[in-house]
A = this chain, B = another copy of it.
Amino acid sequence: MATTPLTLDALVATSRALLVEGGPDAIVVREVARRLGVTAPALYRYVRGRDDLLTLLITACTDEATAACLDALAACRPDDVEGRIRAATLAFRAWALQHRPEFGLVYGTPLMHYAAPEGGPTVDAGQRFGGLFGSLFVEALAAGRLRTVDDGVLSPGVRASLAATAARLDLPMRPGEVRPFIVGWHRMLGIVSVEVAGHLRWVFGEDASAFAEEQIEELLADLLVPGAT
């Protein structure tokens, strides 16, 4: 019945459509197959099972978010580090708001039933995304715009973790220089998560944009020293 041969891309695309329409629970093997004009067992030729489908989907979405940030960066003046970090952050937030179900799948409460394969494609994609932001902070450091911290003031555990992270991502930074990166990542993820999950609805109704954008500006001000411009 299938006119075109099945592809992994087609599987992911249909799964994603279902995710958008009805959340993770709506990703139903039989329905994916039906929309592809095929019966359920056929999919098991391409995918080990439903979890495999989710892994593929999470990876694709993570990469799409990364790409959205890269697009935003491409439109920036290369020498304006603050502008670049702002653009990437806002692009990430915009992508999250426009793709709430996908964001929830990637950065929301982990699906307890689903366990990401150790060292699998999802963690790779996550590291690509982290690396993108990491490189922005390297730029900021080089430009002397980063509010760094002395390694000495860090607790030993935190210092070790930060050093290991820098090594893993190949960032030429001291722990005290990595810290603003992690703080930025942490707070950005928090701001976007809470907004996307709608936990501010009781205060701001459906549109918390103004407040969220203020919070992002506040975060940038905490991370970067004012520019010469």
Contacts and interface: CB of A to CB of B under 8 A. Distances in A.
Interface in A55-78: none
Given A113-B22, A113-B23, A107 B199 contact: yes
B155 A210 contact: yes
Contacts of A104: 109-110
Contacts of A207: 157
Given A182-B203, A190-B193, A203-B182, A210 B158 contact: yes
A112 B23 contact: yes
A143 interface: no
A210 to B, nearest CB: 5
Residues of A in contact with B, size category = 35 or more
Contacts of A194: 186, 189-190, 193
Interface in A178-229: 182-183, 186-187, 189-191, 193-194, 197-200, 202-205, 207, 210-211, 214-215
B112 A202 contact: no
Interface in A115-144: 123, 126-127, 130
A113 B24 CA distance: 9
A130 B201 CA distance: 13
Contacts of A193: 190, 193-194, 197
Given A126-B202, A189-B190, 6 more contacts: A26-B112, A110-B197, A110-B198, A155-B210, A158-B204, A165-B202
The 5 closest A-B pairs by CB, nearest first: A190-B190, A23-B112, A108-B109, A104-B109, A109-B109
